[in-house]
Amino acid sequence: MVGWAIAVHGGAGVDPNLPTERQEQAKQLLTRCLNLGISALRSSASAIDVVELVVRELETDPIFNSGRGSALTEKGTVEMEASIMDGVGRRCGAVSGLSTVKNPVSLARLVMDKSPHSYLAFSGAEDFAKQMGVEREENDYFVTEDNVGMLKVAKEANSIVFDYRIPTTGYESCGAGVESPIRMNGLPISVYAPETVGCVVVDSQGRCAAATSTGGLMNKRIGRIGDSPLIGAGTYACDVCGVSCTGEGEAIIRGTLAREVAAVMEYKGLALQEAVDFVIKERLDEGQAGLIAVSKTGEVAYGFNCVGMFRGCATEDGFMEVGIWE
Amino acid sequence: MVGWAIAVHGGAGVDPNLPTERQEQAKQLLTRCLNLGISALRSSASAIDVVELVVRELETDPIFNSGRGSALTEKGTVEMEASIMDGVGRRCGAVSGLSTVKNPVSLARLVMDKSPHSYLAFSGAEDFAKQMGVEREENDYFVTEDNVGMLKVAKEANSIVFDYRIPTTGYESCGAGVESPIRMNGLPISVYAPETVGCVVVDSQGRCAAATSTGGLMNKRIGRIGDSPLIGAGTYACDMCGVSCTGEGEAIIRGTLAREVAAVMEYKGLALQEAVDFVIKERLDEGQAGLIAVSKTGEVAYGFNCVGMFRGCATEDGFMEVGIWE
């Protein structure tokens, strides 16, 4: 028996000028989600059930960029994606390109448990959703006024929505984020608002799980897939730990960020926080991202190399913390 | 300067009863592709250009399961996917759900080089293809008589097309592949025919690259995504090595197989062949798969834990080998 631990996030890369009211709302949501998870853990729920439960709550709330409140594609629609992974057996499920599914993480769970595949996308994923009878909504449900406004700004700023690649010719204007004003993925931070959500849990049996959900990049091309549904990139769980990442999609993908935390624990013998720090420092190059993680021994950790990450953590011994900045 | 090296594969998991004529055809194609790559390498082409060139050839030939000759979805259509990664900067591009693009690997390259994203899928990917003006064909072009027949057999066998997960209730019939008759992904090996293709190269500057392309699982659900387009799973390249995998999709995804080879080289200091052997032995559990790899020092290696893998390798010092069985 170990002490359980839980962490949630609502995205890495936060506008330092975010209105105080908005910061408070975000912290309240993170707190509420932590408490939901803690309640379930106290009732001996399994890690995989808790991560799903908590991410559902994050998706349902319009504040962050997942489910309702998802970032909008260039066409003003939503294409949501999510993945979930059970450290037990490293089972996983993922979905992309959802437009009517109220809780993408739950569909990802169904892909894992009830479909013969690991990853379903676009119309095939929507068909599966109908077949499974999950809750579905019209596009309007997911689209918030805030995001309609953000999309307009993104388009007017005439920014290239950028998955942050090592600059090649033609993209000289999209550099790393240390310049001012702060930019991530080629957008000013006030517009970028990644706000992918995620949850990692280790339960009292030492089982780890992780889940990540997002609407993706504001003003993204139709069909663009980011890191959140990709096992090993945005989400990973094994017998050693559970990890969920957020930030610049391409940096997370080519850094196989979530898997990396586990790999350095397994192969270099690093403890959780050391592993998180190592990965954030060594695997991101110019990329900006953050992650949350738990280990099978009941530890919880997080790290980020950008300005702010909405996060919260709690452990069974009563520790609880919600934060945005360093 | 190092000696260059190249490896190609046409899928892991081969029917031991495959007619000799078919085996010969396959070996001839592998040989032709190796020679194509060798020719380019002798003209100092870069690794990233060579892997694309070779995989294009594999896609164009109807023999293996990619491009023309792709496995068919449950509806008799094709949904092709591919990924490519450049060890230099770990840049990457991927595509899924293609139905008209003659060379998926080239579209993946364009996603990497010419789009603001890393991964495009389904209608969004098709739109990008039109925009880029790549060669496109009608569905008929990709569909071979062989595969129409295979699809029928798969349906009649009433097999669940299975991404091979750790058995949960209801899937007891889909066990690991040591039983007879040989099954992979829940299908008898004579029907399964994964035949994903791939190529890995290290050029004379020591730069590594990898690319993988496939039509996916025979009789797959619409929208199903496998390991081939997933960076870290089916494809990976970094400054140390280049890797392309093939076999049971879910096993490769949850084993983050391609990244694993590089990770054990980096973190455990294993040499290429040791790393390949370690990964095949330790990361697959009951899964069946194979992979090819090259290292920055000019080595080439491959490994597989199933019955057969179509592969070929060559190095600058004149070594060349094409094979199917152990």
Q: Which residues of B touch A163 (CB under 8 A)?
A: 116-118
Judge: B186–A124 Cβ closer than 8 Å, yes or no.
no
Q: Is the pLDDT of residue A179 over 80?
A: no
Give yes or no for A192 touching B (CB within 8 A).
Answer: no
Instruction: Read off the pLDDT of each residue in B150-171 and give the average, rounded to a whole number.
Output: 57
Q: Chain A contact for B87, CB < 8 A? A: no
For A39-45, what is the mean pLDDT? 97
Across chain A, mean pLDDT equals 91
Instruction: Give the count of beta carbons closer than 10 Å to the beta carbon of residue B1.
Output: 7
Interatomic CA distance for residues B228 and B243, integer angstroms: 11
Which residues of chain B does A235 touch, with a Cβ-Cβ cutoff of 8 Å?
none
Residue type for position B87: G
Cβ atoms of B227 and B252 within 8 Å: the answer is yes
Q: Which helix (H) or strand (E) holds B231?
A: none
CB of B231 closer than 8 Å to CB of B267: no
The residue written with tokens 């057999």 in the block is B153
C-alpha span between B270 and B149 (Å, rounded): 44
For residues B128 and B112, what is the distance between their CA atoms, to the nearest angstrom?
12
Cβ–Cβ gap A119/B232 under 8 Å: no
Q: Point out the residue among B123, B222, B233 whose CB comes nearest to the CB of A223.
A: B123
In angstroms, rounded to a whole number, what is the distance separating the alpha carbons of residues B244 and B199? 7
Distance to chain B for A164, nearest Cα, Å: 8
pLDDT at B308 over 60: yes
Q: What is the mean pLDDT of residues B95-121?
A: 97
Check pLDDT > 90 for residue B167.
Answer: no
pLDDT at B15: 87
Catalytic residues of A: 196
State whether residue B287 is helix, strand or coil: coil
Contact assessment for residue A290 and residue A303, using Cβ atoms and an 8 Å cutoff: yes
Question: For chain B, how are helix, strand and coil distributed in percent, rounded to 5?
Answer: 35, 25, 40
pLDDT in tens, A286-324: 899 999 999 999 999 999 999 999 999 999 999 999 999
Interface list for A 15-74 with B (CB within 8 A): none
Cα–Cα distance list, B186 to A47, A287, B157, B179, B213 (Å): 29, 40, 11, 12, 22
Task: Tell me whether B169 touches chain A (CB under 8 Å).
Answer: no
Q: What letter would DSSP give residue B161?
A: P
B-contacting residues in A 242-271 (Cβ below 8 Å): 249-250, 253-256, 259-260, 263-264, 267-268
On chain B, the residues whose CB falls within 8 A of the CB of A127 are 221-223
Tell me if B226 is assigned to a ligand binding site. yes
- How far is residue B94's CA from residue A160's CA, in Å, rounded to a whole number? 19
Q: Which long-range contacts (CB under 8 A, 24 or more apart) does A111-116 make?
A: A112/A84, A112/A86, A112/B165, A113/B168, A115/B221, A116/B160, A116/B161, A116/B162, A116/B163, A116/B186, A116/B221
Min Cα separation A312/chain B (Å): 27
Tell me the nearest-neighbour CA distance from A185 into chain B, angstroms: 9
**Token digits of residue B167:** 């058995």
- State residue A165's pLDDT score: 35
Structure ipTM: 0.91
